[in-house]
Structure 1
Amino acid sequence: MQDNSNLSVLVIDPNPGMRGSLQNMLSQLNISKVEFAVSSGTAIRQLSRRSYDIILCEYDLDSGGEHGQDGQQLLEDLRHHKLIGMWTIFIMLTSEGVYNKVVSAAELAPTAYVLKPFTVDVLSQRIGRAIDRRTIFLPTYQLIGQGNTREAIRSCIAGENAHPRHAADFVRLRAELHLSLNEYPEAEHLYAAMLGAKAVGWASLGLARAVFAQGRIDEAAAILTDLVAANPRLMAAYDLLARCHEASGTPQRAQQVLEEAVSISPHMVRRLRKLGEVAFEAGDVNAAEKSFKQVVAKAKYSEFRDPEDHVNLVKTLVKKGDATQASSVIRDLERSLRGSPNVDVCKSISVAMLHDAAGNNAAAISELNNAVGAVRASSGLSSKLKITLAKSCLAHKLDHEASEVMLSVMNDVNSDVSTQQAMGIFVKAGRPDLADGMGAQLKAQAQILLGIASEKTNMGDLKGAVHSLLEAMHMAPGNLQVMIAVARGILRQLGELGWDHALAETCQAQIDAIHRFDASHPQLEPLVNEYNGLKRKYGIATT
């Protein structure tokens, strides 16, 4: 019999009788490290502090309520916010009727389902199988956790050969790793090969993702249309199909797809938020209002509340001409989410919208200045919100403030906004001079960071130097001098402090970019030789 004494378990169930029953069963299985959570919120707080080997989660966490999460939504939140690792065993406890509804809808499936009522022997079998599977996949998961994606792909290939019963799961994981490296043709080939052997929903979805990423929007849409017809509860397919319609310039069709998805799975906040955004873009203010109101209401029961949701609702109500309701939403924002710079930014932007709608230009300018000041102390605001603020500043001729906000977007290394996109905001507003000015500032900041990196290198702080170089790369991604400096700095760190797989990938990307920029550059060959020499030094394949 397997030794379970070292396993840690988190039981998530609102029913005290069920919690007691599960504790008794786990005790019979020699599992004594058991903790409990009575709701999704308490579970998230516990998982923020520590990890567990196994999570046993009741599907019906809300007990018939209208706003709480179910177990599947909690699982997707935990994965989305990276609160549980790939190696965490997540077992869903549910009735047979619910299982039949949810099993086909989950792109992010639990490790296993246990149908109620169940015996201790059934629970023991599910846990045993899950542990055996984790043991097989753990070497690959560890490589992924280390950022060693290339070796993880090779581990998947070895796993397919060594464990035929899990071959399909290894293929799926390998394809996802190729997607993470932007190697879309490789992922497409794997998904297509899987579909050639067997029609499975995840492979069709993966194929559509790979095709979409390569710009073949119509082809992806066709795959997804067939997929939702065959698997009407595969919710992620609706999300990607809506993105296809957005990319094709048909927000009304995107709205229809998301409305269908919400009618099937009405509680997922991220999908409701997207529906509101798409409906607003499509000009359907009433639908946008309905969605954003649901987002604000449902988010009250989530640990991941976002004050930007209130801004979206205020924007929609202002567009509708309902200043009274918009004012009420702002008061709710102040009352329920007070005490952070992010809330201050969102409040000031929202109040500025109201003043604009009422024609109070001076008051709107005052609030926009307050918002810009609060941005300086904020963290985690979306680039989209900052761009909205910058556009409002431009509309009120607050040129310096608009430039400051856009620079904060570009100074955020996690921002997905490119330099060209940022400068395009000013060009579209009829201010190419501000775009040129921001471009010059970014180049100047990149040069300063190169100097800081050089000083850190001279002081022996190689990691700090590379961090500064990566910031410079984000600000001036097409600058040849920066590309060369980044490659050199990473190579020095790899040589003196050991191999780092994520940094090595970045270094390879910079070398490739230098080659595209100037294939005959005199520093290119030495960089390639040094990189390949380090790979040989650390026993890493160079093919």
Structure 2
Amino acid sequence: MDANELAAQQLYKLQGELKNKKVLVVDRHPDARNAMRMMLSTIGITSVQGVGSATEVLRLVKSSSYDIILSDYQLEDGRDGQQLLEELRYKRLISLSTLFMVVTGERAYKNVVSVAELAPDDYLIKPFTGEQLQQRLARALYKKFVFHQAYRNVERSRYEDAVTACDDIIQQYPQYQHDARHLQADLLNSLGRYVEAEAAYRQMLEQKDLAWARMGVAVAVHGQGRVDEAVTQLEALVQDFPEYLAAFDFLARLREEKGDSTGAQQALQAAAAISPNNTMRQRAVGDMAVRNNDLEAAERAYNTVLSRARGSSLRSIDDYANLSRVMLEKGNVAGAKLVAQDLRRDWRGDKQGELASLVIDSLVQTKEGAPDKAARSIAAAMELHKVLVAEGKMEEKRPLSQKVAVDLAHACMANGKEADAQSLLRQVAAENNEDRGVLAHIQGVFEKTGNAEAGKALLEDVSREIIQINNQGVLAARSGDFDGSVQLLIEAAERVPNLQFLVNAAKSIYTLMDQKGWQPELAERAHRYLEKARSRSPDDPRVISGRDMYQRVARKYGVQVDTDS
């Protein structure tokens, strides 16, 4: 039996298995939800739940899993199905095996696919029949079936195994080799295997000019240290494929890396003009505009973020702090007060929200010339900050906002509490030594309080200290002193839990266990470090390779590991 006959058999089998699938229908119109439910029943699917908003979807997927999500393109509050998918994927609220289809009219389809930031598994074009729906679902589920092992490996952090699974797909399912090569090349980039990734993308580009392949080359080239070449490629890419918005984001990042913050802002704004509803990009526009002292653009972007993120899992206390900070810099004290009121209302009962509102109060009161009130707000904020720092050491607590911590330091410095401010800023700088935005925010605090040189000195001192601590642990490992390396890097990660130290400490523990055997307490510590690192930068190749190492060493000793986290 050839591959085509096998595919036909499996497709037929999947059509029969549709009746066992659990489906979530998302449409703001109850009649449309009922019509879809009836159509699904005609093809044997009876486990169907309908909701009217993205907010309801986010609530449901946290407690239930669905095989298929059918979402209308136009949702409530100006949001759309494309954004819903992006949020679900970004927050990892659905698995890669979940089938997500966008339902839309033909005219809308032509508009939305050109700016699709994250492609759904398929688009259903209205109107369609039950038979057409069945065929499209079965075909999409068949592809999920083909890629099941690769997706499973990715979700279990077995990236090397996922690369191998793609080889199997290329051999067994030639009709999907294009998609398998795409996934495989992306995985190679994720693992930091940039030379192999570049070769894979360039091979695909020999057959066809593909935006995603050119993007992949730029990522691989940058990973090899050829930054100027990557920038040149991205600038050409956004000219040739202006709808490929991820290229604008990466171009902005590289321009920022080269010290061109104005060019970075221009790239982000160009993408935001094409697709204005992307919350994370609007947030990035605001951050970059602040660094460029473009307060009008920053205020517009942060206002957009606040209006879009309400009711979304992408909402953040930082958004209120960002907007209030810009308003104060523009002299709009009344506006900053209103933002603080919204913050208290929207985050009622949340300690981090309370801290942020106290910090805003203090900065407002300082602007108004009320030092006694500002001092009381700062004192309350400092006490609450101590509580949150202590709680932050507990795994179940979300990380403390670094931006709010910097704003607290600003409030301290503006009210003569120099020592408290220096201590806060030094810790934030150490924990975010690779985040240019956070470091620029810290430097901005020093500049606004007339201490620009002191800010440069503090950041340089922190950088030197981090390099020294890291080098001690790395040198110990290179000399074969794995126990000494582990101890040094654990001390570093506990003292300064930045991404670099967290990953290095975890990898040093896995290297030690690879040599001397599995040690449950050490393994738990390493896993905790990696999870903290992943919460900060889930797609960083160092984090991905660390998690892959975790899986490999655990399998070596037959240890069952947590694959869901």
Moved more, 430-439 or 402-411: 430-439
Deviation per CA, 1:61-120: give whole Å up to 9, x if none: 13xxxx431110111111111111111110110111111122232242101111001111
* Partners of 1:361 and 1:290 in 2: CA distance: 30
- Which protein has greater RCO, CA pairs closer than 8 Å, 6+ apart? 2
Runs of 5+ consecutive residues of structure 2 not aligned to the other structure: 1-11, 389-397, 447-452, 474-482, 484-488, 531-550, 560-565
Letter in 1 for 2:31: G
**Aligned match of 1:321:** 331
Distance 1:353 1:201, change over 3 A: same
Task: Please state if 1:151 is matched with 2:178.
Answer: no
* Partners of 2:505 and 2:270 in 1: CA distance: 50
Mapping for residues 90-129 of structure 1, pairs under 5 Å? 90-129=100-139
- Percent of counterpart pairs with the same letter? 31
Distance 1:361 1:182, change over 3 A: farther
**Aligned match of 2:512:** 488
Shift of 1:5: 2.7
Shift of 1:326: 1.4
**Aligned match of 1:522:** none
Shift of 1:307: 1.9
**Aligned match of 1:527:** none
Deviation per CA, 1:307-344: give whole Å up to 9, x if none: 21111111111111111211122122222322101111
Mapping for residues 45-124 of structure 1, pairs under 5 Å? 45-62=59-76, 67-124=77-134
* Partners of 1:175 and 1:371 in 2: CA distance: 48
* Partners of 1:184 and 1:255 in 2: CA distance: 27
Letter in 1 for 2:501: P
Letter in 2 for 1:383: Q
> SS state of the match for residue 352, structure 2?
helix
2:402 pairs, out of 377, 383, 388, with: 383
> SS state of the match for residue 11, structure 1?
strand
1:216 pairs, out of 212, 221, 226, with: 226
C-alpha contact (below 8 Å) 1:469/1:489 kept by paired residues = no
2:235 pairs, out of 225, 231, 243, with: 225
C-alpha contact (below 8 Å) 1:241/1:254 kept by paired residues = yes
Mapping for residues 326-341 of structure 1, pairs under 5 Å? 326-341=336-351
Letter in 1 for 2:318: E
> SS state of the match for residue 477, structure 1?
helix
C-alpha contact (below 8 Å) 1:159/1:170 kept by paired residues = yes
> SS state of the match for residue 192, structure 1?
helix
C-alpha contact (below 8 Å) 1:341/1:377 kept by paired residues = no
C-alpha contact (below 8 Å) 1:411/1:471 kept by paired residues = no
* Partners of 1:47 and 1:87 in 2: CA distance: 14
**Aligned match of 1:168:** 178
TM-score, normalisation: structure 1: 0.78
> SS state of the match for residue 339, structure 1?
coil
Deviation per CA, 1:421-455: give whole Å up to 9, x if none: 79x97995377599689969x98xx99xxxxxxxx
RMSD of aligned residue pairs (Cα, Å): 4.1
**Aligned match of 1:429:** 455
Moved more, 472-481 or 142-151: 472-481
> SS state of the match for residue 83, structure 1?
coil
C-alpha contact (below 8 Å) 1:68/1:301 kept by paired residues = no
TM-score, normalisation: structure 2: 0.75
> SS state of the match for residue 115, structure 2?
coil
Runs of 5+ consecutive residues of structure 1 not aligned to the other structure: 448-456, 458-465, 507-530
**Aligned match of 2:189:** 179
**Aligned match of 2:259:** 249
Shift of 1:139: 0.8
Mapping for residues 488-527 of structure 1, pairs under 5 Å? 488-489=512-513, 494=518
**Aligned match of 2:544:** none
Deviation per CA, 1:269-321: give whole Å up to 9, x if none: 11111111111211211111111112112222424321211111111111111
Aligned length: 486
Shift of 1:348: 1.9
C-alpha contact (below 8 Å) 1:57/1:93 kept by paired residues = yes
* Partners of 1:431 and 1:392 in 2: CA distance: 20
Letter in 2 for 1:41: T
Distance 1:253 1:112, change over 3 A: same
